Chain A
Amino acid sequence: MRFNRHLGTFAVAGLLLGGIGTAHAQDSTTGAVRGQVRDQADKEPVIGATVVASGPALQGTQASITDETGQYSIANLPPGTYEVVVYFADAKFSRTNVLIQLGKVAKVNIGIDTKATAGETIVIEGRAPLIDQQSTKVGNTVTHDYTDNIPTGRTFGAVLGAAGGSQNDFYGTSVGGSTSVENTYIVEGVNTTDPGFGLLSTNLPNEFVQETEIITGGYNAEYGRSTGGVINVITKSGSNQFHGSVFGYWTPGGLVADERVTPRAGNSIDREDNLNNRFDFGAEVGGPIVKDRLWFHAGINPSFISNEVSRIVKRQVDEDNDGVPDVDQNGFTVLEELDRNRLTESFRTVYYSGKLTGAVTPDHQGSISVMGSPSRNDDFCIGGAPCTPIGQKSATREVINRNVFDMSAKWTSKFFDNKTQVDAVAGFHGDKVDQEPALESGFNNGIRYETERSLAFFDQQEAEYGGVPAGCQDGAGDPFPEITNCPVPLYRAGGLAFVEDTNATRISGLLSATQRVQLLGHHVIKGGADIENQGFEDGRYYTGGAWYRERASQQWNVRRFLTPDVEGVPCGADIDGDRNGDANCRAIEEGEVLNADTRTRNLGAYLQDSWSVLPNLTLNAGVRWEQQTLFSAEHLRGQISPTTGEPIPREAFTLGNMVAPRLGVVYDWTQEGRSKVYGHFGRFYESIPMDINVRAYGGEVIGIDVYNNPGCDAANPVGSCAMDGPDFIRTDFSGAGDTLVSPGMRAQYLDEIVLGTEYEILPDLKIGASYIRRDLGRVIEDVSTDGANTYIIANPGEVDTGAVADLRREAAQIMESDPGRAQFLNYEADTFEGVGIFDKPKRTYNAIQLTAERRFTNSFYMAATYTYSELRGNFPGLFSPETQQLDPNLTSMYDLPELMANRYGDLRHDRPHLVKLDGFYRLPLEEIGFFTFGASVRGTSGEPINTLGAHPSYGLGESYILPRGAGGRTGLTTRFDTHVAYGRALSGGMRMEAFVDIFNLFNQQPEIEVDENYTYEDVNPIVGGDQADLEHLKAYGTNRRPAINSNYKNTFDRQDPLSARFGLRLLF
């Protein structure tokens, strides 16, 4: 009902405004052109001239009539090169080579001779300015000029790093200090962001993509649900001629330089990755079905990667028999290779797309698109760190089948002589992931040994690799009797441990209307509303029914998923007031799956006005409203909540009143569209991914059986950890089957200020400078105020004191009549009040960015950015970069108050200096053809290093022993990639290009990640401490210095080595 009411509001607004003027606005799938027609002689505006835009990307033509100020505007133009023609007094004035880009408005002022002879066609020399005069958006647009001629990745998702200020993080491309999970990805006008986790989901090869707009800030109210960047992609369309390409790329493993391996002390198993082959090939073609009426475009692109993973067993040496493993002159442990097993990984993806573009009339056009990328990965990379084959194949090898599918339908109609424009978009996005062990034995119980053991201990497990090498045997005949020859930390045995299948869907619809109004200048008023109905099915289990961990703290933990054992009663910790100790749970058995079928509904609406106060001064004002409702899992609804003692409601919670103002100003001091000074303030709300629906409102409860170490036989923990034995300590419950929501909880948001300037200093060359500040204002996270027994979804650090007082008052009133209920209300009040003791989340990004961009003309293109930035805070974003935990709004970062200590500092993606330089030059050789020389240069500061320990409940890397970033920084990373192509025209309008890309030409392999674990033992943080204090650190609850990880600050990952990619494309 609420949605319909808003739709009605905008429909009425559209009708009221209809007929006043001509619409002009770009939307997420098109661009626009606007400007003024003036008399060359007296500079007076020309009224009543007809301005017509035409180009190969447009079905038919689009026209506009200049108003009393001589201004015109033509919207809804697919990206491409256009001719703009002015008809006046029977004369025709043509302006060619007008570049229209996705999401941008080109300003083209045209001077005409109003006394020109009738029937004469006058070609006007000039170029469209580079600078978008309409908006304050920051970012850049990636076109074919870029992806064809600059060495880069094969998909639009792999070129996002081209944007200034962006950088890679563990799950994608981070923008403006936000984690990649905060980005929104729009393809063909449809939100294709992964509903479950917020990741990049839909991805397409560059050959299928017309343009990719990477918006890193300063965007108006039509965009929302993002506290990162907005990635707006439009795929290729057909045209009135048949065009297309056949292409192939091949990266031979033999031309990849050897990976530089850093020895890891105390670890006798190393991983070395070598590419066997990476290749893909495909074709795309577009053309007319009915000229100017119906076009098609289709493409297919299978892609294959094969890796050789060498599993190398090494031993330490101790020539002087001093009991300390020998090190070389660089301090690295001396290791002797004993054995090498070669394993194979394979990755396969088939990209496809299809698109129909139709026009009933030039004023009524639409398109239908489908695209997808089914894939299969067979690899040795299990989620979580370290991602290495330290262990049995069955414990480390997985197969992931994934199917991403999208469908988009878009319609645009213009009414009242193009004065009003209405756009409607409907879309479907699906992302289905099936994970399973690659081997049958992978379904056994997973076991992880977090203590250091000799590889010889795993003799039975190592049989599949040919057994433990003799050199690893300690004891008789051992040349190094004083040391453990082959120590192994974190060995994995048995099965895969954690397995998860997901099926995410999103059905979306968007309706918008645009109207131009003349009132104290020109207004372009746009309003719209949208709905997203998301589904997320999740099935998870521990292989064998339980996961066994030998903790460094001399205990064994056995984790199991739990499920109800009483009909109609959800499983959860016993906090329902009766405190009878009955958690109403039983363990998920081997072969069972913990399922949750959940749903989220997103509503949004916006109204914005782009007000051209003067021809060279534009004010953008807008406001966006959003609402998000998360629903409890289907199977839990109506059951009695162990948390509240009341039936679990259909709605888990609703975040309403998300009102996001946007305010911007653009001023062109040249009055020619060749400069702008701009500023923008905006508030941006997060759209919560649906992982939280499953984990907090899907009935997930984990039981952790804790044993003293002797109670489990390390050689056979599955058969020996017995709950009726003397070493069983207790069972901890994590989760309550239902999760409280803090009263008054409000949505997570980010505020942003952008101030900047751009100037076209030379023809086709613009330079710019901008300041960007992004401040996270509020966060939603799960917190626990009772020691991880139960959790609350809340705004950490914020308490609704009124609600707490109400609970206490109510409890006091019923204390005598219903003491059980009163006890529960007091418990709730305590819990909600406890949220206030958590540190308030902070994340502040300050950046100054300098840019230079030269449009591709005269055979030369160049884009350069330098960004100086600071990123400080205690909340990195929607995943934890240190542990890679991806549970948006549900990470362990805020689970316990004591986990807060030392989390404030330079965040992981604080890289002060970021330099990017991309360019290419085309050298024409007349009859012979042409050469293209392209290059991409990157320079990046190192990232902060933390000093981490384990937490008794949360495990490795969760305790910040010293303040965040106190461990120094990794070094500067530089990279130089090149592209050399030879092309020549063939008969029939065809063109052939052969090229080679060299990535990392100088084979620089600096470390990009180091081991931050100072110790694997449980320790508390030294709050505000330094290196001197670190010497006095004690293992949790003892007077003993913990065992220090000898690999602390040792290299964990390096930049990829030099590689060469060959390619061939035939264009027609």
Chain B
Amino acid sequence: MLPALTSFVVCAACSDPELASELNKEGPPEIVEVNVRSEGAVTGDGDPSGLQAGESATFCRDGDQYRVNLVYCPEARDSNNAPIHGMREIAPAMDAAPADWYVRLVFDELLDPEVERLITDADGTTGHINQTQPVTLRCGGVELAYDGYYEPSGNHLSYPPGPSLVVDPDEFIASGTDDCEIVVDTVSDKDGEAVPSGQIGPYRFGIAPLRVYGSTPEDDSTGVALDTSIQVDFGAPIDLASTADTIVVSDTAGNEIDAEPAYLTDDDGEVIDNTIVVLDPMVDLAPGTSYTIEVRDGIMDTAGGPLVQDAPFTATFDTGEAE
């Protein structure tokens, strides 16, 4: 009890406590995580809300046992089992879709908000960093144009984590491109201190190869309507020409249905998703029949990235009875 009493009396003069939820207020802004991910068009294990999506690369700060959201950050070791210092890459939890990827750089303190320009239009106010260009983004040795925004909110416990810079390439990069990198150039905190030189990068990462994320109808579906259209989700904008003979739907007798590949459109015929290829059969499917969707090699995305698969994707479904 005496130590508690002593501490209590002494602490009458204590200043505010240090709290786990706070950001670092001192020194230069450190990068606590670099995360390359995609929040759109992910199917399969991804959350349909789109807020839990795949990562294609993540770098942890040296010495951190955990990265944001308390995900364990394993220590990197070399072949002699000695610790490797510096920002380190950890195994991605899941591949990001090659489309709509972006880089989130998470910092341990608030940045100078001038890193972002705010633009207000009829849709509201949004942030942009295409004028300030605080980082350099390259793929295949070519510097990429990008935009993005500064998100001052969040900490290492929140989702999305923050404060962060979100860097969003302006153009689509071919699936499977494996030599991208990002370098931090002109990022400073509110006191004007810059990111330490040891943390500016480059952070290297690759773009996930083109693959099939799923189909509609799904594999083993039954009672499928006879006027259904068949959809294949690639997670990247697809060169339609490459799908002409590579997406095949056939019945058990091997009869291929006749359909022209197209992008997913709305009721007015406007393309709403060029990562999904739709086959709308010329005639209704036969009732009580089993069909197989097969996606063969040769498909490419709009930037020339090829489909990569160990074996052709297949999905089988049964149609229902005629009404």
Contact = CB atoms under 8 A, between A and B. Distances in A.
A836 to B, nearest CB: 8
Interface in B137-180: 148-155, 157-160, 162-163, 166
Given A729-B49, A797-B20, A751 B8 contact: yes
Contacts of B9: 753
Contacts of A842: 17
Contacts, number: 128
B151 to A, nearest CB: 5
Contacts of B153: 961, 1019-1023, 1025, 1033-1034
B116 A904 contact: no
A775 interface: yes
A840 B17 contact: yes
User: Interface on chain B toward A: helix, strand, loop, or mixed SS?
Assistant: loop
A258 B175 CA distance: 70
Contact of A898 (B48, B148, B151, B158): B158
A773 B116 CA distance: 45
Contact of B19 (A753, A874, A1020, A1037): A874
A1024 B150 contact: no
Contact of B8 (A775, A1021, A1043): A775
A579 interface: no
Given A1024-B110, A1025-B152, A1033-B152, A1041 B126 contact: yes
Interface string A1026-1040: 001101111001011
B33 to A, nearest CB: 15
B157 A1041 contact: no
B21 A897 contact: yes
A1040 B125 contact: yes
B71 to A, nearest CB: 12
Contacts of A751: 4, 8
Most chain B beta carbons < 10 A, residue from A834, A872, A1024: A1024
Given A846-B12, A1032-B118, A1033-B152, A1023 B22 contact: yes
Contact of A1040 (B1, B8, B11, B124): B124
A846 B51 CA distance: 44
B244 to A, nearest CB: 30
A948 interface: no
B51 A1037 contact: yes
A1025 B110 contact: yes
B110 A838 contact: no
B315 interface: no
Interface in B1-42: 1, 4-5, 8-9, 11-12, 16-17, 19-23, 25, 39
Given A729-B48, A838-B20, A1024-B22, A901 B127 contact: no
Contacts of B11: 775
Contacts of A681: 5, 8
Contacts of B8: 681, 751, 753, 773, 775
Contacts of B116: 1032
Interface size class of A (residues with CB under 8 A): 35 or more
A900 B19 contact: yes
A937 B127 CA distance: 51
B157 A1032 contact: no
Most chain B beta carbons < 10 A, residue from A777, A900, A1028, A1034: A1034
A661 B21 contact: no
Contacts of B70: 834, 837, 897
B113 interface: yes
Nearest to A773: B12
B152 A1029 contact: yes
Nearest to B17: A842
A730 interface: yes
A1031 B23 contact: no
A657 to B, nearest CB: 13
A1020 B49 contact: no
Given A1020-B158, A1021-B155, A1040 B20 contact: no
Contacts of A834: 70
Interface string A822-845: 000000000000100111101000
Nearest to A661: B1
Given A775-B11, A1039-B166, A1023 B5 contact: no
Contacts of A839: 19-21
A1032 B4 contact: no
Contacts of A1032: 113, 116, 118, 127, 150-152
B278 to A, nearest CB: 17
B282 to A, nearest CB: 26
Interface in A905-928: none
Interface in A978-1035: 1019-1025, 1028-1029, 1031-1034
B322 to A, nearest CB: 24
A917 B25 CA distance: 44
Contacts of B118: 1031-1032, 1041
Nearest to A728: B48
Contacts of B20: 797, 837-839, 897, 900
Contacts of A773: 8, 12
Contacts of B16: 872, 904
Interface in A811-862: 834, 837-840, 842, 846
B125 A1041 contact: yes
B2 to A, nearest CB: 10
A951 to B, nearest CB: 10
Contacts of A872: 16
B113 A1034 contact: no
Contact of B124 (A901, A903, A1041): A1041
Nearest to B160: A1037
A1041 B110 CA distance: 17
Nearest to B151: A1034
B65 to A, nearest CB: 12
B159 A898 contact: yes
A904 B20 CA distance: 11
A968 to B, nearest CB: 19
A709 to B, nearest CB: 13
A617 B263 CA distance: 92
Given A898-B159, A1041-B126, A1023 B154 contact: yes
B247 to A, nearest CB: 24
Interface in A690-735: 729-730
Contacts of A903: 21
A753 B7 CA distance: 12
Nearest to A963: B22
**Pairs of residues from A and B, 10 with the lowest C-beta to C-beta distance, nearest first:** A1020-B153, A1041-B125, A898-B158, A900-B21, A897-B157, A1039-B149, A1020-B154, A839-B19, A901-B21, A1029-B152
19 contacts: A661-B1, A729-B49, A773-B8, A797-B20, A837-B70, A897-B70, A900-B157, A1020-B153, A1021-B155, A1022-B110, A1023-B154, A1023-B155, A1025-B153, A1028-B113, A1029-B110, A1031-B118, A1034-B151, A1037-B51, A1041-B126
Given A1024-B23, A1032-B151, A1037-B160, 13 more contacts: A753-B12, A839-B19, A901-B22, A901-B157, A1020-B153, A1022-B152, A1023-B23, A1029-B110, A1029-B152, A1037-B51, A1039-B148, A1039-B151, A1039-B166
Interface of A: 661, 681, 729-730, 751, 753, 773, 775, 777, 797, 834, 837-840, 842, 846, 872, 874, 897-898, 900-904, 961, 1019-1025, 1028-1029, 1031-1034, 1037, 1039-1041, 1043
